[in-house]
């Protein structure tokens, strides 16, 4: 048994958490499973202290393959915040990125921040969207494998984002998502109007989408996201996993990926590498 595992067991027991077992997950030597009795928050705090850079999932039951997977897009399934990259074409990236960061940290109302950023983009040529997609919106490492593997196990996949259909639809096609819920940028005469078409997809809509799909399909659910507007969705899921997330989202989720890529989610769910689809 490694020194870190021994230290974790001693620290857990000293904190009043009884450890029944600490051993690799069946078929996954790289995943360490602790079976305990005690306060979940205390256990998590101890494990975070002993394993400061790691991926973690806390669950009252053994993790299962979900029937529903709902994920955020920007900085979760793709390596970009699309509105920030689009703003660069308008010469406004620093200004808009600062608003994005504050909204994702939970310091600004999401709907107000979104409306203000979109307003600033008014007049930008529609062609910037296609250029931005081609040049600045790569998938997050492991994204294709995560989606394909979950679908192969019978999971229905939804991409839900406070971003825009003009980006989310092609990203969903590329990654294999079966449903997309997003905002839509207004476009007239080949340029952005500075407004949105239809309602705003905010944190409440994200949670609602997850609950609707679970009511329709049943079973366990998985959610992934990185920002404050993902918190209700992460909390509502059976397994809400924050991905390289802002502090508030990480704290609110049932677990997090802080060391690996998106395939770490498969490991945390106990899906062995031999069952993965893709690279």
**Residues taking part in catalysis:** 72, 74
Q: 167-190 burial by CB neighbour count: b if 16+ within 10 A, else e?
A: bbebbbebbbbeebbbbebebeee
Alpha helices by DSSP H, listed for 121-157, are: 127-136, 143-152
Q: Which helix (H) or strand (E) holds 24?
A: strand 18-25
Calpha distance 1→51 (Å, rounded): 15
Instruction: Give residues with Cβ within 8 angstroms of 268, minimum separation 6.
Output: 31, 55, 56, 57, 63, 239, 241, 255, 257
Residue 180's DSSP bridge partners are 159
CA atoms within 13 A on the CB side of 154: 8
Q: Quote the DSSP letter at residue 78.
A: B
Strands 239-243 and 156-164: unpaired
Placement of tokens 């509502």 in the chain: 236
Q: Residue 95: count other Cβ atoms within 10 Å of its Cβ.
A: 13
Contact by Cβ (8 Å): 135, 157: no
Three-state SS string across 150-189, please? HHHCCCEEEEEEEEEHHHHHHHHHHHCCCEEEEECEEEEC
Placement of tokens 């409440």 in the chain: 204
């Amino acid at each position: 048994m490694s020194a870190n595992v021994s230290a974790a067991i001693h620290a857990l027991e000293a904190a009043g958490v009884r450890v029944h077992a600490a051993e690799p997950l069946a078929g996954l030597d790289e995943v360490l499973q602790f079976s305990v009795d005690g306060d979940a928050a205390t256990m998590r705090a101890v494990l975070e202290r002993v394993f400061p850079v790691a991926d973690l999932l806390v669950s009252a039951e053994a993790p299962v393959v979900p029937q529903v997977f709902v994920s955020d897009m920007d900085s979760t399934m793709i390596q970009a915040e699309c509105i920030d990259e689009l703003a660069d074409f308008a010469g406004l990236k620093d200004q808009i990125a600062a608003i994005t960061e504050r909204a994702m940290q939970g310091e600004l109302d999401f709907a107000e921040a979104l409306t203000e950023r979109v307003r600033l983009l008014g007049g930008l040529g529609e062609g910037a969207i296609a250029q931005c997609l081609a040049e600045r919106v790569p998938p997050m490492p492991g994204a294709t494998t995560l989606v394909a593997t979950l679908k192969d196990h019978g999971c229905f996949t939804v991409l839900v984002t406070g971003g825009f259909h003009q980006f989310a639809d092609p990203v969903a096609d590329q990654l294999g998502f079966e449903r997309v819920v997003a905002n839509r940028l207004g476009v007239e005469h080949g340029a952005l109007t500075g407004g949105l078409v239809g309602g705003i997809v905010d944190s409440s809509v994200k949670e609602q989408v997850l609950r609707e799909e679970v009511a329709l399909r049943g079973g366990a659910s998985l959610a992934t996201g990185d920002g404050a507007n993902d918190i209700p969705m992460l909390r509502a899921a059976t397994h809400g996993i924050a991905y390289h997330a802002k502090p508030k989202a990480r704290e609110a989720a049932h677990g997090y990926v802080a060391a690996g890529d998106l395939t770490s989610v498969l490991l945390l769910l106990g899906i062995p590498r031999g069952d993965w689809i893709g690279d």
